[in-house]
Amino acid sequence: MERFIEYILQFGNLNQQQIDLVSSKATVLALGKDDYYWEAGKMVRRIGFLTAGVLRVYYYTNKGEENTRYFIDENHLILDGPAFEGNYVPSEYLQAMTDCELVIFSKKNWNEISETIVDWDSIVHKITAKHHREKLERRSNLVSQDATTRYLDFIEKFPTLINRIPLSYIASYLGITQSSLSRIRKNIR
């Protein structure tokens, strides 16, 4: 929980009373490896902050292929949609790659925080804006570079993920096949 508070404080100030309020609204959720935090088509009514573990976000193309959109690691807030768009029905799957621990807010509790703490929405908007910029940037850089460069960039940006995520998912994120990625790793050594 402290980690979540610390995280929030990077984007705005809260006094002790406000911190206590936020804390009182949170619960903890543990996910085992391969569990889903959410699934396409199911309503989402909560906001989560990942304190331990790695999640991957994937979807199915119209050809039925699984496609990894991005990974989420420790100390990231997961609030796509729900905070702004009422109840949110995702088209993506969000699956635990390792055992995970999250701090969770029900939509109801989240709204209560938002109504009580004047700055809350503005803090949250700063965070979403940052997230979106980062995601778009990463994705943009993936196109237009060869696979080796993309892999090296990935290592650089997510050094802690490489050993925790199966090769096939990284390949899927980079948009190449698993065997190609394996060969690329061989060449790099």
**Which residues fall within 8 angstroms of residue 116, CB to CB, at 6 or more apart?**
18, 21
- CB of 142: closest distance to a second copy in angstroms? 5
Residue 60 interacts with a second copy (CB under 8 A): yes or no: no
Residue 182, contacted partner among a second copy, DNA, none, CB below 5-8 A by kind: DNA
Residue 139 interacts with a second copy (CB under 8 A): yes or no: yes
Residue 33 interacts with a second copy (CB under 8 A): yes or no: no
- Between CA 172 and CA 61 the distance in angstroms is 12
Please pick, from the candidates 33, 42, 108, 132, the single residue that binds a second copy as defined by CB under 8 A.
132
**Binding pattern for the stretch 135-174 against DNA, x by CB under 7 A and - elsewhere:** -----------xxx-----------------xxx------
Beta carbon nearer to a second copy, 45 or 126: 126
Residue 3 interacts with a second copy (CB under 8 A): yes or no: no
Concatenated DSSP letters for the chain? -HHHHHHHHTTS---HHHHHHHHHH-EEEEE-TT-EEE-TTS-B-EEEEEEES-EEEEEE-TTS-EEEEEEE-SSEEE-TTHHHHSSB--SSEEEESS-EEEEEEEHHHHHHHHHH-TTHHHHHHHHHHHHHHHHHHHHHHHTTS-HHHHHHHHHHH-TTTTTTS-HHHHHHHHTS-HHHHHHHHHHH-
Residue 180 interacts with DNA (CB under 7 A): yes or no: yes
Beta carbon nearer to a second copy, 22 or 174: 174
Q: Would you tell me which residues interact with a second copy (CB under 8 A)?
A: 59, 61, 65, 67, 69, 80-81, 84-85, 121-122, 125-126, 128-129, 132-133, 135-136, 139-145, 172, 174-175
| Contact positions vs DNA (CB under 7 A) | 146-148, 166-168, 175-186
